[in-house]
Amino acid sequence: MTVTHSRAYRRGVLATTDFPLEDVSEQLEMDDDTIVWVDLFAPTKEELDLLARELGLHELAVEDALGPHQRPKLDHYDSHLFLSCHAVRVAEDRGALETVEVDAFINKHWFITVHKEPGFDIDAVVQRWDRSPDLLVHGPSFLVYGLLDVIVDGYFDTVQAFDEFYDEISEDLFSEQPLDPARQRNWFEMRRALVQFHRLAVPMREAVSSLMRREQSAVAEELYPYFQDVYDHILRVSESTDALRDLIATIVETNISLRDFRQNQVMKKVTSWAAIIAVPTLITGFYGMNVPYPGFAEVWGVWVFFIATFAISGSLYLTFKRKDWL
């Protein structure tokens, strides 16, 4: 386990930083107004069990923090809350959604964050806290807000990336050049990434809503406008993902329609040229029979062949050209 950050606040003022995990209890005992934050990267079961015994973490919450692929949620226990959420970013070149699960144990005196994979910028959360030091007097609920604010801002960046990608896709639909298989595969992967993002963003509404319920007393009264702002942002993200999914459905339908239209255009041209070429083939086949016929072995018979061939083929060409089949 790596303790990437640790901080202790007393009466809203930063008192000490970067102390070891073993000193958490000592820091909490110094003052009743002390708030401790510890960030853990990839802790083992034994290490998290040790912290659980020290702070009274529920065994189910510890199990969820160690287990993979938790859905966004907020669980209530007697001594603390357990929050699970995900930081996300989209890699357009691979058509993949990169996610980092971030779990948090929340108590009125301490805030423990756990992330098992690299890729989450915890320094951005620290910077968010440091921009509003006056709000630290409201306890860990402000630390929770800072974490959610950074994560939801990442959601907006992800939505923007999807929006720009599908704007480009919409323009490519009407290109005369056929799409290469690699590009089509990228479309599919990005569509799957959007579905995955939707599954992560939508449950966050319930998690934040549950956190804001006043009967739970999890959020300081002065911080409700801030959490409401986060909740509104999540609603906008959810609505944007719904709109993008509708846009994808429209793009798919349009792509199929355009593909059928282009196929019909090609078939009309092929059929038209086949009909034109069939005329000299038919006449040549008639004149190639080894039987006497009017004009057989005569010069005027040759002229009849050429005139009939060019006249019928030319009339077919003009007819198809006028109907825009050629």
What does the pLDDT look like over 22-47, one tens digit per residue? 888 888 888 778 889 999 988 888 88
pLDDT at position 84 over 90: yes
pLDDT value of position 19: 85
pLDDT value of position 155: 92
Q: How many CB atoms within 10 Å of residue 20?
A: 10
Most confident of 68-72, 85-89, 300-304: 85-89
Read off the pTM: 0.77
What are 160-203's pLDDT values in tens digits? Answer: 888 888 877 777 666 666 666 677 777 788 888 888 898 888 88
E strands present in the chain: 2-10, 13-17, 34-41, 73-76, 81-91, 96-106, 110-115
pLDDT value of position 215: 66
pLDDT value of position 139: 85
CA dihedral over 195, 201, 204, 209, signed as positive or negative: negative
pLDDT at position 291 over 70: no
pLDDT value of position 18: 86
Q: Interior CA angle at 132 toward 222 and 139, to 5°?
A: 50
Closest by CA position to 88, among listed 66, 130, 117: 117
CATH class of 2-258: alpha beta
pLDDT value of position 111: 93
Backbone angles phi, psi at 6, to 5 degrees: -155, 140
- Rounded to 10 deg, the angle between the 140-172 and 181-212 helix axes is 150
pLDDT (mean) for 302-313: 79
CA-CA distance, 238 to 241, in Å (whole number)?
A: 5
Residue type at position 251:
I
What are 206-227's pLDDT values in tens digits? Answer: 899 888 887 666 788 888 899 9
**Reported confidence tier of residue 2, pLDDT bands at 50, 70, 90:** low
